[in-house]
Amino acid sequence: MKTTNPLKLIIFFGLICLLVMTLSRLGLSLWQFDRVAQVDGFIPVFLQGFRVDIATLCWLLALPALGSLIFATGGRIGEYWRTILRLYLTLLLLQIVFIECSTPSFIEEYGLRPNRLYVEYLVYPKEVFSMLWAGRKFEILLGLAIAVSTVWAGWRLSAGYQVSSHKFSWRIINLCLVVLVVVCGARSSVGHRPLNPAMVAFSVDPLVNGLVVNSSYSVLFAISQMRNEADASQIYGDMATDEIIDWIRLEAARHQDHFISSDFPSLSVNHPSAPAKAKNLVIILQESLGARFVGCLGGKPLTPNIDELSKQSWNFNRLYATGTRSVRGIEAIITGFTPTPARSVVKLGKSQTHFFTIAQLLAEQGYHTSFIYGGESHFDNMRSFFLGNGFNHIIDEDDFVDPVFSGSWGVSDEDLMVKADSTFSQLQQQGKPFFSLVFSSSNHDPFEFPDDRIELYEQPKQTRNNAAKYADYAVGEFFKLAKQSNYWDDTLFLVIADHDSRVGGAQLVPISRFHIPGMLIGKQIDVRQDDRLVSQIDMAPTLLSLLGITAHYPMIGRDLTAQADDWPGRAMMQYDRNFAYMQGNDVVVLQPNKPVVGFEYNFNNHDLIPKSQPEKLADRALAIALWGSMAYQNSLYQIPTN
């Protein structure tokens, strides 16, 4: 192959790589024909797969394309670049061919395309090679032959490349075109966020979702995520494993005999403390609705509907979020997982399948489980996490027909609530119990919502306060519909915020900005104002108890129906890399590589007053902070299948 245009060589290798990835996807899909056919997946697998492949190649070929336009000139520099480019393209082809060829074996072993484990095992080459040689000699020899053949072919195919003699103006024009093509192709989206695996996930089968992406993309994406998985022990200090387990079991406040596994230390059997209060469960998760926006919690007069509902519910007056992001709230409420200095498990690699959620538990109990969202469900990796961990059905922006209003974050909250109501009515008619997480989005910058729905709190219209008031309006409209519905008598509702908005402050942990609303509503729920200190991680155990479900699960949150009225309560908060544990009004804060500091919290003026705290409280906080990382890294937070 001879050419004076270096881009032709790069495009030629790109087409070869595209062919390899497509043929691999075809072979894998035929191999897994039954699973792909069961979810009608052939069209999305190949259409979205082509999209992912183009994005992958744009990323991988960007630097050689730009470098060729700059360095592919006559003379010594051109000759050096010729060698570098040939070597890069040959190794790139080797990488793509080798990873795709090793994919079937990886799927057989782990049930997924190559991911972070593919990289982690490179740390142990001797052990891994010994294991593979003992059981997969043929695959190793075949892989070696393919690798040698690929290197030979790649080097030969690039042998005829000659340096360019085009003028400088031609190079500038092509440079601009290459940048445009690479940026557009790599993003593969005109939306807020570039392409990611959650954006192309469409099935509850994680393997089928994995067939959409190519194995090179899967591995590279896993590598990019690994750097976010901070280990709490490297930040706050170590503690013996047995001591951590003792503390987290004490935190769960269950009898020691109820912990049923030495392999999964937090796994316990749990019985409801009272007769079932409902059959169905709906969690309405309110975006960025801190207590400072809620009238009944002492905030601004923006929530007349929620204030009224608080008088008809089991209302938590001292409920605290675990973090400052939506995924942290989802993590706490849906999984009961304690916060860590790493990113939420919603976004981390090891938790995308076989990670406990109440959706998984309820699905095993025969529930229809769903996530209803007015925006793009792939945002923050929610779609992938939910489909991989117990949610049967996802409704998002594309499923709304003729919404009354659409903004930057999707359809309005009132569209969301109408859709939720109609969905629940249909499910109730089917006679099968249902669980649904309904997640609002209108109360989010840039605060877009329909006109003429509320009396504006202030001018101009698009402010945080007005958006909070509109979000409250939508909640009120939903409960008007729900109380007239066929599912009202059988359903337990939790209205709760994910976090406050723009949490900040001069304190190590601005505790007042973690204060959020939360209330349990239903025909059979006793009305009460609960002043105990509680955390988002207490919601799931309490909900399961109110549903009358006996089950074993790994959550260490409290079943609040079983706690005494004079229990002082506790909460935990992750603020960047600082971790606060509050018991009553006593607080300890863990900071990276610093001694634990103690405070007393004043609930009236929100001051943190320095105070020496008992060593046991500090040890308890450290154990809980370490538990999340330990449970995640060692895959302990699940219900074992055997």
Q: What is the CATH number of the domain that holds 477?
A: 3.40.720.10
In the DSSP assignment, the letter for residue 338 is P
Tokens, residue 221: 């994406």
**Sign of torsion, CA 380 411 395 468?**
positive
Are residues 191 and 261 located together in one domain of the fold? no
Are residues 258 and 212 located together in one domain of the fold? no
Contact 583, 320 (CB under 8 A): no
Q: What is the pLDDT of residue 138?
A: 81
Q: What is the pLDDT of residue 128?
A: 66
What is the average pLDDT across 485-496? 98
Q: What is the percentage of the chain residues whose pLDDT exceeds 90?
A: 69
Which of the pair, 621 or 502, is modelled with greater confidence? Answer: 621
What is the average pLDDT across 66-85? 80
For the chain, the maximum distance between any two Cα atoms, rounded to a whole number of angstroms, is: 85
Residue 597 lies in a domain: no
Neighbours of 636 (CB within 10 A): 18
Residue 38 lies in a domain: yes
Picking from 518, 546, 561, the residue at the C-terminal end of a domain is 561
Note the pLDDT tens digit of each residue in 30-41: 999 999 999 999
Picking from 165, 194, 226, the residue at the C-terminal end of a domain is 226
Are residues 222 and 254 located together in one domain of the fold? no
Q: What is the pLDDT of residue 227?
A: 64
Are residues 84 and 128 located together in one domain of the fold? yes
What is the average pLDDT across 568-584? 94
Tokens, residue 304: 């007349």
Are residues 158 and 272 located together in one domain of the fold? no
Residue 338 lies in a domain: yes
State which residues form the domain around 552.
246-561
- The Cα 568–Cα 86 span in angstroms is 68
Q: Is the pLDDT of residue 164 over 90?
A: no
Residue 21 lies in a domain: yes
Are residues 298 and 397 located together in one domain of the fold? yes
Q: Is the pLDDT of residue 197 over 60?
A: yes
Contact 20, 96 (CB under 8 A): yes
Q: What is the pLDDT of residue 198?
A: 79
Q: What is the pLDDT of residue 273?
A: 85
What is the average pLDDT across 133-159? 84
Q: What is the pLDDT of residue 107?
A: 86
Are residues 316 and 463 located together in one domain of the fold? yes
Q: What is the pLDDT of residue 1?
A: 44
Q: Is the pLDDT of residue 282 over 80?
A: yes
Q: What is the pLDDT of residue 5?
A: 66
Residue 557 lies in a domain: yes
Q: Is the pLDDT of residue 245 over 80?
A: yes
Residue 252 lies in a domain: yes
Residue 602 φ then ψ, to 5°: -95, 110
Torsion of CA 58, 62, 64, 70, to 10 degrees: 140
Are residues 250 and 222 located together in one domain of the fold? no
Tokens, residue 543: 């909900």
Determine the residue type at 499: H
Q: Is the pLDDT of residue 57 over 60?
A: yes
Which of the pair, 384 or 137, is modelled with greater confidence? Answer: 384
What is the average pLDDT across 513-536? 97
Are residues 280 and 313 located together in one domain of the fold? yes
Residue 580 lies in a domain: no
Are residues 126 and 175 located together in one domain of the fold? yes
For the chain, how many structural domains are there in total? 2
Are residues 294 and 216 located together in one domain of the fold? no
Contact 503, 439 (CB under 8 A): no
Q: What is the pLDDT of residue 165?
A: 54
Picking from 519, 546, 561, the residue at the C-terminal end of a domain is 561
H or E stretch at 532:
strand 528-535
What is the average pLDDT across 574-603? 93
